[in-house]
Amino acid sequence: MALSSAALSSAFEYAPAPESRSVVDIAPSYGLFIDGEFTEAADGKVFKTVSPSTEEVLSEVARAGTADVDRAVQAARKAFAKWSALPGSERAKYLFRIARIIQERSRELAVLETLDNGKPIKETRDADLPLVAAHFFYYAGWADKLDHAGFGRRTADGHSGANPRPLGVAGQVIPWNFPLLMLAWKIAPALATGNTVVLKPAETTPLSALFFADICRQAGLPKGVVNILPGYGDAGAALVGHPDVDKVAFTGSTAVGKAIARSVAGTEKKVTLELGGKGANIVFDDAPIDQAVEGIVTGIFFNQGQVCCAGSRLLVQESVQEEVLDALKRRLSTLRLGDPLDKNTDIGAINSAEQLARIQKLADTGEAEGAERWSPACELPTSGYWFAPTLFTGVTQAHTVARDEIFGPVLSVLSFRTPDEAVAKANNTQYGLSAGIWTEKGSRILAVANKLRAGVVWANTFNKFDPTSPFGGYKESGYGREGGRHGLEAYLAPSSPEGKR
Amino acid sequence: MPTTAPSPGTPGEGPASRPGDAPSAGGLADVTASDSALRRFLHGLPGVDAVGLEARAAALGTRSIKTTAKAYAIDLAISMIDLTTLEGADTPGKVRALAAKAVHPDPTDRTAPMTAAVCVYPDMAATAKAALNGADVKVASVATAFPAGRAALPVKLADVRDAVAAGADEIDMVIDRGAFLSGRYLSVFDEIQAVKAECVRPGGTAARLKVIFETGELSTYDNIRRASWIGMMAGADFIKTSTGKVAVNATPANTLLMLEAVRDFRAQTGIQVGVKPAGGIRSTKDAIKFLVLVNETAGADWLDSHWFRFGASSLLNDLLMQRQKLSTGRYSGPDYVTVD
């Protein structure tokens, strides 16, 4: 007899498919990585890092203080002389070696990142790690071609591009949402251009950076070229403020970015800031609706919405609003939330209790201000930090959820009537990092993209990254660009005839 | 063939003068009032972004189906197969062997479910019907000058009539791709309706109609979506990707797209239409990926042989070998399944 689906429909449940934790060996404790050695903090302080999906303590990590920052900067300064004097092709060899080791160890690093960050293995394995390796490969390729990047010495007839020089010691502070990827964005161009690095990973996600320190040793990178200082905001502030740091690179919140800008003002330090965002994802009535729905999901639920360039404001043309919302709600009902190590999982855990509280508070504000809140039926695990994918409809520009960056899986839906209105609303934000356009009409893509004040504009896709493509913001989303040829500029000396350093 | 002269700019005019315009629910009868109205409607459907569609289909291909879910999926897939022989060299003996296999796919394990149907050329429909001897396996017959469909309409209709008279439970028709590609959508629509009318048996019951688009020849995803809507509006019980006779047949992406179409059509009209990918699906792994597409796109309502079919023949043996592996714990080999 043919099977009856009524009897068996409940049998088509996907089997759990968790990645094995045994591929990664997490030590009970880790030190700071200074001058090629793991070492305790000068004041002996440590902190615990937990897995957001289970609240399990993964390891105890040394907490850097001011004295450690000083030690690390001195080590980087000392290493700078030799490192910057190497021919570009020699530096490239190290970078290529690091890139290959990352590829070889990518499964281990993906599992580690998922454990420490809470994001689904699907994303660490298929997005983060391939991009991490790609960034090192890409900037390894630039290391011996800096003469041709166009950022070197200025001559009478403009940039000659010849003999570009590194800045010195780069102090880099990265966030917890893409711990290893942000490390790659910072370290790869810095090393390619001949700078040395002191990097502070976020306090909730220090582990992959410490594994990277091990990779540097495995690659035989000279001591002191890369130093890793796990720690809190005080260590970050000490690093940014250290007088012997020549370049500051920060990715994180706008509030901290402003503090950094204030602290380096008046110094000769070069700064790049990659800060918050409130990206507009604009769906026109002639959009490929099914793919737009996928793009909306990718835009806001990728990495639980903890993405600075998330498409957290959906601007949908009123004539298709109902259709798009119906399709979106139907699609959200198929999202799978749960164990981040399971390859079927679409939505993992929120990175920390603090972040969860912040998301909850902003969502409550949205409700209090009269926006309509909707989530699919969704069972949340009992331990760990979880937030169900959430939609706010009936949102206007005046609502908090349309203006403040939530940094969580919360989408605010607004509507518009004409392309001009879409552009006006999309630009009506203090941020300007990303935007998306969904339309079948090529001319409209070009016309609208030209008017959007955002560093990245995606057309008929969202949240796609590539090392060759510069990334950065307008307005309070920061300044400077990372990635691509432009990403080299921030690590090369300003073009004066003789140069000061 | 009754064709209405195009009446530009008057959507909504004259639907009543076209009796038999199948689903009138959702106001869709209006759009088949004229060629231009139908064109406007079809070109007003949301476009398809090829990159996004293929990415989604690929992403759904990574779901993990193991143990209980796999056993269920394998049996479900077997029960959805239209076991097919469409060769110029088909003989009654070949068809009888195929029918026997459809009833008892695994001679070593009588718990294996029957396939949904055997699919043959019209001249073999009676042989197949007799060979099945009352078993609950349908006879599907590819009529309408399959696979090219290049014959005069009366010839196609006679083909269908023959197959139905010979006992076919299901008719697999090919659309006129030439008419579709030259923009004569109403002609495609009318032809499907005419075939649908021929599916009615003297007692008033009707063979179920599967409409084959030959997606590989329609070339673009936008065309596949438009063809899907023409088929559904004209009364197709199933929409089917392809004949299996061209270079590109069923793919995860074109099947995903057609599943979106049946989902949207039911939402708009309340009428449920089945989907049948055909050609090129050979492994259990592939079949399970298609079931995931069904589950996550159209929904569990379609996870049934009444609403989803695989047009495949070599797929069955792979499913049976995987089934044996699940029950015995080891792989058997091609000699442990039949070659028919």
Residue pLDDT, tens place only, A33-62 = 999 999 999 999 999 999 999 999 999 999
Query: Pairing mode, if any, of strands A410-416 and A313-317?
Result: parallel
- Residues in B closer than 8 angstroms to A289, CB to CB, are 46
Strands (E), B38-107: 81-84
- Count CA within 13 A, CB hemisphere, residue A398: 3
In this complex, is the C-beta atom of A5 within 8 Å of any C-beta atom belonging to chain B? yes
In this complex, is the C-beta atom of B64 within 8 Å of any C-beta atom belonging to chain A? yes
pLDDT at res. A1: 32
Both tokens of residue B25?
A: 């629910």
pLDDT tens-place string over residues A286-295: 999 999 999 9
Range ranked top by mean pLDDT from A7-11, A281-285, B6-10: A281-285
Q: Helix axis angle, A179-192 relative to A129-142, nearest 10°?
A: 10
In this complex, is the C-beta atom of A287 within 8 Å of any C-beta atom belonging to chain B? yes
Distance CA A249, CA A172 (A): 5
- Residues in B closer than 8 angstroms to A343, CB to CB, are 62, 64
Residue of B nearest to A297 (CA): B56
Query: Pairing mode, if any, of strands A46-50 and A57-62?
Result: antiparallel
Confidence band of B10 (pLDDT split at 50, 70, 90): very low
pLDDT at res. B16: 37
Among the listed residues A198, A171, A174, A194, the one whose alpha carbon sits nearest the alpha carbon of residue A185: A174
Q: B18 pLDDT exceeds 60? A: no
In this complex, is the C-beta atom of A376 within 8 Å of any C-beta atom belonging to chain B? no
Q: Of B46, B55, B73, which is closest to A289 when you measure between CB atoms?
A: B46
Q: Would the CB atoms of A287 and B116 count as touching at under 8 Å?
A: no
Q: Is B276 a catalytic residue?
A: yes
Q: Would the CB atoms of A12 and B67 count as touching at under 8 Å?
A: no
Token pair 């001009």: residue:
A420
pLDDT at res. B127: 98
Both tokens of residue B304?
A: 């049934």
Confidence band of A155 (pLDDT split at 50, 70, 90): low
In this complex, is the C-beta atom of A9 within 8 Å of any C-beta atom belonging to chain B? yes
Q: Would the CB atoms of B72 and A8 count as touching at under 8 Å?
A: yes
The predicted complex's ipTM stands at 0.87
Disruptive mutation site among B43, B51, B54, B64 for chain A (greatest number of A CBs within 10 Å): B64
pLDDT at res. B28: 81
Distance CA A145, CA A159 (A): 15
Average pLDDT along chain A: 94
In this complex, is the C-beta atom of A16 within 8 Å of any C-beta atom belonging to chain B? yes
Q: Would the CB atoms of A3 and B305 count as touching at under 8 Å?
A: yes
Confidence band of A151 (pLDDT split at 50, 70, 90): confident
Confidence band of B45 (pLDDT split at 50, 70, 90): very high
pLDDT at res. A157: 62
- Tell me the CA distances in angstroms from A132 to A143, A178, A344, B157, B175, one per residue in order: 17, 10, 23, 61, 49
Q: Of B48, B65, B75, which is closest to A3 when you measure between CB atoms?
A: B75
Confidence band of A156 (pLDDT split at 50, 70, 90): low
Sign of CA dihedral B49, B52, B55, B60: negative
In this complex, is the C-beta atom of A333 within 8 Å of any C-beta atom belonging to chain B? no
In this complex, is the C-beta atom of B136 within 8 Å of any C-beta atom belonging to chain A? yes
Q: B8 pLDDT exceeds 80? A: no
H/E stretch holding A65: none
CB atoms within 10 A of CB A28: 8
pLDDT at res. A118: 98
Q: Rounded to two decimals, what is the model's pTM?
A: 0.91
From B133's Cα to the closest Cα of chain A, the distance in A is: 15
pLDDT at res. A158: 65
pLDDT tens-place string over residues B116-175: 999 999 999 999 999 999 999 999 999 999 999 999 999 999 999 999 999 999 999 999
Q: Would the CB atoms of B68 and A13 count as touching at under 8 Å?
A: yes
Confidence band of A494 (pLDDT split at 50, 70, 90): low
Are the C-beta atoms of residues A490 and A272 closer than 8 Å to each other? yes
Are the C-beta atoms of residues B308 and B275 closer than 8 Å to each other? yes
pLDDT at res. A161: 76
Backbone angles phi, psi at B288, to 5 degrees: -65, -35
pLDDT tens-place string over residues A201-215: 999 999 999 999 999
- Between positions 14 and 53 of B, the ones with CB within 8 A of A are 46-49, 51-53
Of residues A10 and B177, more confidence is placed in: B177
Distance CA A114, CA A207 (A): 11
Q: Would the CB atoms of A291 and B56 count as touching at under 8 Å?
A: yes
Q: B101, B156, B240, B289: which one is catalytic?
A: B240
Strands (E), A217-347: 226-228, 247-251, 270-274, 280-283, 313-317
Residue of A nearest to B293 (CA): A334
Q: List the catalytic residues of A.
A: 274, 308
Q: A314 pLDDT exceeds 60? A: yes
- Residues in A closer than 8 angstroms to B300, CB to CB, are 5, 9, 12
Confidence band of A425 (pLDDT split at 50, 70, 90): very high
